[in-house]
A and B are shown apart, each in its own frame.
Chain A
Amino acid sequence: MNEAEAIRLAQQGDAGAFERIYRLHNRRVYALCLRMVGNTAEAEDLTQDAFLQLFRKIGTFRGESAFSTWLHRLAVNVVLMKLRKKTLSETSLEESTDPEDESSGPRREIGAPDLLLSGSIDRVHLERAIQQLPPGYRQVFLLHDVQGFEHNEIAGLMDCSIGNSKSQLHKARMRLRELLQETLRNQARQERQAAKTSGSE
């Protein structure tokens, strides 16, 4: 059963078609939810919510846009709605509530050389660093750099200005750079210590 056929049958309430659609897209949707919330239990709930909303609305899908794009946007909306409810009092995109927001450039250790990230970072490091970002930065970074949304789309999804989206993204990248450089410095320090220990033995 291909996707178009599954959509047609799902619009008629066919159980097998619903499962087919779920199996085709669940990995992308779950990955998106997991990255956005950083918690498996919440990501599972959000994945279920996203598909539930999709199946409730599937009768209205007319095929003008790609089904995966429609689902993707719907999943992002579900996640953002949840995050908005959860962090309404903690975070606002239009104001810089995070004290780390004020940093205008990367903080550099005096005497420490700049470490170029190219070729030195891997996915694990980046994922860890992303989870350390303040929520507002993380959401814009994930939507733009990871999920590939444009600033005008992010502005619509997050109910903020395009300029604000750009500013948050820039700050997110700056903060990620700091975090990743810190990781590389720690690694280099550990390697030096290990070399010293093995040399003295």
Chain B
Amino acid sequence: MQCEQFEQILEQQDDGALPKPALAHLEACETCRALTADFGAIHDMALELGAEEIAPPERVWISLRNQLEAEGLIHDEQAAPRSASHASRGWWAVFQRPAIAGAFLGLALAAAATVSYLSNSPQTALDSQLTLQQEASSVPSADSVFKEEVLTVGIDSIPELQRQDTAVTNSIRRNLQLVDNLIAICEKSVREQPDNQMAREYLYGAYQQKAELLATAMNRSMTGGLQ
């Protein structure tokens, strides 16, 4: 048997037992013995790799949970049931607060500017940003309002929520801390690599997550207060 034939058998037999002629060749051929030994070493190391576990970043769960909530796949047992009218009254009340309304307007404008910048040519993006800036002139510096009002808001700013279920409050607090950490990391990345589009997208996603978490917390506090 030639080495080429042995290799063909090895390929087809894979992990199974080799036939007698192949075994006889293996006994006599140092090259093929080295080959099978190396395959064995690679296989053993690969098995070790397979047993290895790597933790994904926490943002994966935050994003997944948001998606599950958006699709209505999960419901929180601790969330008190509420009617549609209560919910809408709660949201309306939230938006009646000038600072929060300004923050959400800021978020919307910042998001629009970001999306416009990412999806258009530099000139068009510049034009859009100029237009947005002109439109936003009635609302003093949308981006700064967003940063001051949303990014500095914490769970302690929502006193009604703290009077509610401690478990819920703690859960939201934990998630807010995670998102704040994520924002800090993303902002650092964007500062270090201003041209990195992925870093900008992550930062934008993190801002969105914080806004969504705060909206959820405020919604809870409002509906809780109404019951």
Q: Do A and B bind each other?
A: yes
Q: Taking beta carbons and an 8 Å cutoff, which residues of A are in contact with B?
A: 13-16, 18-19, 22, 26-28, 30-31, 34-35, 41, 43-44, 47-48, 51-52, 55-56, 104-106, 114, 116-119, 121-123, 126-127, 141, 145-148, 151, 163, 166-167, 169-170, 173, 176-177, 180
Q: Is B1 among interface residues, defined by CB-CB distance under 8 A?
A: no
Task: Select the stretch in B7-15, B89-97, B144-152, B206-214 that faces chain A.
Answer: B7-15
Chain B interface residues (CB < 8 Å from chain A): 3-4, 7, 10-12, 14, 31, 34-35, 37-43, 45-50, 52-57, 59-61, 63-65, 67-68, 71, 73-77, 198
Contacts of B76 in A (CB 8 A): 15
Cα distance A118–B68 when bound, in Å? Answer: 47
Q: Given the complex, which residues of A lie within 8 Å of B53, measured CB to CB? A: 27-28, 31
Contact residues of A: prevailing secondary structure: helix
Q: Determine if B41 and A118 form an interchain contact, defined as CB atoms under 8 angstroms apart.
A: yes
Q: CB distance A118 to B38 under 8 Å?
A: yes
Between-chain CB contacts (< 8 Å), 16 pairs: A14-B75, A18-B68, A26-B55, A26-B56, A52-B64, A52-B68, A55-B73, A105-B3, A106-B35, A118-B38, A118-B40, A121-B42, A121-B45, A145-B46, A146-B47, A170-B10
Q: Which of A41, A55, A56 has the most CB of B within 10 A?
A: A55
Given A27-B55, A31-B54, A114-B31, A13-B60 contact (CB < 8 Å): no
Q: Assess whether A123 is in contact with B49, with CB atoms less than 8 Å apart.
A: yes
CB distance from A140 to the nearest CB of B (A): 11
Partner of B50, one of A116, A121, A147, A167: A147
Given contacts A30-B54, A52-B67, contact A13 B45 (CB under 8 A): no
- Report the separation of the CA atoms of residues A26 and B40 in the bound assembly, to the nearest whole angstrom: 30
Is there an interface contact between A167 and B11, defined as CB atoms closer than 8 Å? yes
Looking at the complex, which one of A16, A22, A118, A180 makes contact with B64 (CB distance below 8 Å)? A22
CA distance A34 to B46 in the complex (A): 15
Q: A105-B7, A126-B45 are in contact. List 5 more A-B contacts (CB 8 A).
A: A18-B68, A18-B74, A30-B55, A114-B31, A169-B14
Ranked nearest first, the 6 interchain pairs of A and B with the lowest CB-CB distance are A27-B53, A145-B46, A170-B11, A30-B56, A118-B41, A31-B54
User: Is A177 a contact partner of B38 (Cβ separation < 8 A)?
Assistant: yes
Is A121 in contact with B10, judged by CB distance below 8 angstroms?
no
Q: Which of B39, B50, B63 contacts A48 (CB 8 A)?
A: B63
Please tell me if the beta carbons of A123 and B42 are within 8 angstroms of each other in the complex: no
Assess A145 versus B43: contact at CB under 8 Å? Given A19-B61, A116-B34.
Answer: yes
| Docked complex Cα distance between A95 and B74 (Å) | 45
Determine whether the beta carbon of A13 is less than 8 Å from that of B41. no
Q: A123 to chain B: which residues have CB within 8 Å? A: 45, 48-49, 52
In the bound complex, residues from chain A placing their C-beta under 8 Å from that of B4 are: 104-105
Q: Are B77 and A146 in contact (CB under 8 A)?
A: no
Docked complex Cα distance between A170 and B9 (Å): 11
What is the bound-complex CA distance between A48 and B71, given in angstroms?
14
Q: Which of A15, A34, A48, A166 contacts B54 (CB 8 A)?
A: A34
**Which residue, B11, B65, B67, has most C-beta atoms of chain A within 10 A?**
B11
Residue of B42, B60, B61, B63 most packed against chain A (CB within 10 A): B42
* A52 / chain B contacts, CB cutoff of 8 Å: 64, 67-68
Residue of B nearest to A165 (CB): B14
CB distance from B94 to the nearest CB of A (A): 22
Contacts of B14 in A (CB 8 A): 151, 166, 169-170
Q: Which residues of A sit under 8 angstroms from B68, Cβ to Cβ?
A: 15, 18, 52, 55
Report the bound CA distance from A13 to B69 in whole Å.
Answer: 10
Complex: A125 Cα to B78 Cα, angstroms: 49
> Which of B39, B56, B71 sits near A177, CB closer than 8 Å?
B39
